[in-house]
């Protein structure tokens, strides 16, 4: 199985040193975030030069609740998503990850978001980029979009940290509902209180249960880590060793199940 890691796990080192360390510790690829200063082209080119895949690009999340509001911030958010899709296409990145709500009380569900997501999907289809929506605090918003839009470029990204800390349904998460749309996963651990972005096995998630569910729906990777260290100074190589060890452990659980 392929092992990927979020490029922004730390900002202690410069980005190209980070890429070298990721390769050194035998990861297969990365996912990145959108960059408004056109630095991603250099990052992606260098990553591919040293043999790393670039799995996906996470879009900006600021003002995502305005997707549901007919105002300029909503229009700006949609335009930012579209710019991200076009940036991903230019860089030959096949997936963008999008948030459609924030917090426990987003604006009311309404057709404005449907119209906007359909507009975004038309750009995705034109640019051959999949739009993966992430599970957040309110799964009913996610299900509203999926229930009303049937589009080959509309996909799903499962985030384990969100399921454990936000919706607190990681043990009962209905993967079967989303299995035909699942194209990527973001793996991190926490203790159920907030989204700590810990390396798997450093929190309280039952990883054997998660892996069994992945196997049941036929998901076999990549295993993509979205751990982020909050420390300003740490041994980066030891951190990556621990991260790689965790993904090897999760891969071993596939054999046990």
pLDDT single digits (tens) 79-117: 999 999 999 999 999 999 999 999 999 999 999 999 999
CB 170 within 8 A of CB 205: yes
pLDDT the model gives residue 234: 87
* Ordered domains of the chain (ranges, CATH): 3-256 (3.20.20.150)
Residue 226, SS3 per DSSP? coil
pLDDT the model gives residue 102: 96
Q: Give the residues across from 31 on adjacent strands.
A: 6, 56
Residues 6+ apart with CB under 8 A from 257: 208, 211, 212, 215
The single residue listed with the structure tokens 């296409």 is 89
Q: What is the mean pLDDT of residues 46-68?
A: 98
Measured between alpha carbons, how far is 128 from 184 in angstroms, rounded to an integer? 16
pLDDT the model gives residue 126: 98
Measured between alpha carbons, how far is 5 from 151 in angstroms, rounded to an integer? 28
pLDDT in tens, 32-50: 999 866 789 999 999 999 9
The yes-or-no verdict on residue 210 having pLDDT over 80 is yes
Q: Which two tokens stand for residue 228?
A: 């982020």
Q: Give the residues across from 56 on adjacent strands.
A: 31
């Amino acid at each position: 199985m392929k092992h990927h890691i979020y490029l922004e796990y730390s900002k202690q080192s410069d980005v190209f040193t980070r890429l070298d360390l990721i390769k050194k510790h035998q990861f297969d690829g990365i996912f990145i975030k959108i960059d408004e200063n056109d630095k991603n082209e250099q990052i992606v080119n260098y990553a591919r030069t040293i043999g790393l895949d670039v799995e996906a690009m996470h879009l900006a999340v600021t003002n995502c609740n305005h997707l549901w509001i007919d105002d300029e911030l909503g229009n700006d958010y949609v335009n930012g998503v579209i710019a991200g899709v076009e940036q991903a296409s230019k860089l030959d990145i096949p997936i963008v990850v999008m948030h459609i709500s924030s917090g426990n009380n987003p604006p009311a569900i309404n057709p404005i978001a449907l119209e906007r997501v359909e507009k975004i999907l038309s750009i995705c289809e034109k640019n051959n980029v999949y739009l993966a929506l992430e599970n957040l605090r309110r799964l009913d918003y996610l299900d509203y979009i999926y229930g009303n839009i049937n589009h080959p470029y509309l996909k799903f990204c499962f985030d384990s940290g969100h399921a454990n800390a936000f919706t607190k349904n990681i043990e009962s998460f209905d993967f079967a509902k989303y299995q035909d749309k699942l194209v990527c996963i973001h793996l991190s651990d926490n203790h159920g209180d907030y989204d700590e972005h810990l390396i798997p096995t450093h929190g309280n998630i039952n990883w054997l249960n998660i892996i069994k569910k992945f196997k049941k729906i036929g998901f076999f990777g990549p295993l993509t880590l979205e751990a982020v260290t909050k420390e300003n100074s740490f041994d980066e190589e030891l951190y990556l060793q621990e991260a790689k060890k965790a993904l090897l452990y999760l891969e071993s659980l596939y054999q046990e199940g």
